[in-house]
Amino acid sequence: MAKKITIALVGRPNVGKSSLFNRLIKKRKAIVDATPGVTRDRLYGEMEWEGRTIAIVDTGGFLPPDEATPILPQVIIQCQKAIVEADVIIFMTDVRTGLTPIDVEIMKYLRKTQKPVLCAVNKVDGEKQLQDLSEFYALGVEKIWPISAIHGHGIYELIDEALTLVSAEETKEEKIPSMAIKVALVGRPNVGKSSLFNRLVGDERSVVSDIPGTTRDTIDTILKYDDKTYLFMDTAGLRRKTRIKTRLERYSVKRALRAIKHTDITLLLLEAPEGITDQ
Ligand SMILES: Nc1nc2c(ncn2[C@@H]2O[C@H](COP(=O)(O)OP(=O)(O)OP(=O)(O)O)[C@@H](O)[C@H]2O)c(=O)[nH]1
Ligand SMILES: [Mg+2]
């Protein structure tokens, strides 16, 4: 199943983030007001689109962290958290005020995060405002998305595009294993391969027990370290062929051997008290 997508709405105060948020989640959850700086916390809502659940996150008006600001620093921290969590960021600006230096600063900040960003120009309620869009290309984006949060113009095109961007990222992620450096942890049963594996990937990824032969399938996981991508594999313990009794163990060993065949690096794990044996 496709994972839940998170879209964060980010932009300077008063551009209409909360209005868009309410419109997308079809609830009046966020407070909308003509006063800038209304929203402070992160607000979460959900929408269904194209069979996927999308979490929409409304944020308070964002100013780049080094701006001298009337906005509470906590609001900015909330925004930053929302940005980190997001798969796609909808960066909102406002056609009525036109492009401001703060918009430019925010865009610079967002670019550094390397997240996909869609640049939406809000309050394009009619034909008249369409004429005022060109200045927003100064943000250095390929495309500007004119929307009207109040009237709903253009908002689902925006969500469609966000989904396309996420799918592209997902496909990229799926392809990683072929480019990744493949590392298999190999060794006799019970030497601690899974414990090491979990430690390396920083997660309880493999079941660990003191029963020899706990791992049956070859468990793999992607690990990013030092700008490199690794596909780490935990394998079933290997024993001499003559000692393999059960079909299950034979299957496990087969998979472990297959993993070894396709790895770039095989880490042979030994148990110190025992030293090298002739397995
Ligand atoms: N004309 C027009 N006004 C809009 C539109 N969207 C929002 N507004 C108005 O813009 C003002 C600010 O809207 P909000 O949704 O509160 O903006 P915000 O970005 O959440 O603002 P903060 O939470 O203060 O950062 C309100 O008066 C809205 O009615 C729109 O599409 N067209
Ligand atoms: Mg708001």
Backbone torsions φ then ψ of 206, nearest 5 degrees: -110, 145
Burial class from Cβ neighbours inside 10 Å (0-12, 13-18, 19+) for residue 185 reads: buried
Residue pair 238/186 in contact by the 8 Å Cβ criterion? yes
**CB atoms closer than 10 angstroms to residue 162:** 22
The neighbouring-strand residues paired with 88 are 7
User: For residue 36, which atom of ligand 1 is closest to its CA?
Assistant: 24
- For residue 203, report the distance from its CA to the centre of ligand 2, in Å: 37
What does pLDDT average to in each consecutive run of 10 residues of the chain (279 residues)?
A: 84 95 92 81 88 91 66 77 92 97 93 94 96 96 97 97 86 59 85 81 66 68 80 81 78 80 84 68
Residue range(s) occupied by CATH 3.40.50.300 in the chain: 5-174, 180-269
Residue nearest to atom 11 of ligand 1 (CA): 34
Query: For the domain bounded by 180-269, which CATH number is listed?
Result: 3.40.50.300
3-state SS, one letter per residue, for 229-244: EEEEEECCCCCCHHHC
- For residue 51, report the distance from its CA to the centre of ligand 1, in Å: 29
CA 178/CA 255 separation, integer angstroms: 18
- For residue 35, report the distance from its CA to the centre of ligand 1, in Å: 9
- Sign of the CA dihedral with 88 first, then 93, 95, and 96 last: positive
3-state SS, one letter per residue, for the chain: CCCCEEEEEEECCCCCHHHHHHHHHCCCCCCCCCCCCCCCCCEEEEEEECCEEEEEEECCCCCCCCCCCCCCHHHHHHHHHHHHHCCEEEEEEECCCCCCHHHHHHHHHHHHHCCCEEEEEECCCCHHHHCCCHHHHHHCCCCEEECECCCCECHHHHHHHHHHHHHHHHHHHHHHHHHCEEEEEEECCCCCHHHHHHHHHCCCCCCCCCCCCCCCCCEEEEEEECCEEEEEEECCCCCCHHHCCCHHHHHHHHHHHHHHHCCCEEEEECCCCCCCCCC
User: For residue 22, which atom of ligand 1 is closest to its CA?
Assistant: 15
Ligand with an atom nearest the CA of residue 11 = 1
The residue written with tokens 């600001």 in the block is 69
User: For residue 149, which atom of ligand 1 is closest to its CA?
Assistant: 31
Residue nearest to atom 27 of ligand 1 (CA): 34
User: For residue 148, which atom of ligand 1 is closest to its CA?
Assistant: 31
Residue nearest to atom 1 of ligand 1 (CA): 123
Residue pair 133/146 in contact by the 8 Å Cβ criterion? yes
Please give the distance of CA 163 from its chain centroid, rounded to a whole number: 13
Domain 5-174 is found in CATH 2.70.240.10: no
- For residue 128, report the distance from its CA to the centre of ligand 2, in Å: 25
Ligand with an atom nearest the CA of residue 151 = 1
**Cβ < 6 A, ligand 1 pocket:** 13-19, 32-34, 36-39, 60-61, 122-123, 125, 148-150
Residue pair 193/237 in contact by the 8 Å Cβ criterion? yes
Burial 88-123 (b: 16+ CB within 10 A, else e): bbbbbbbbeeebeebbebbbebbeeeebbbbbbbbb
Say what the pLDDT of residue 118 is: 98
Residue nearest to atom 9 of ligand 1 (CA): 16
Mutate to test the pocket of ligand 1, among 12, 14, 17 (most ligand atoms within 8 A of CB): 14
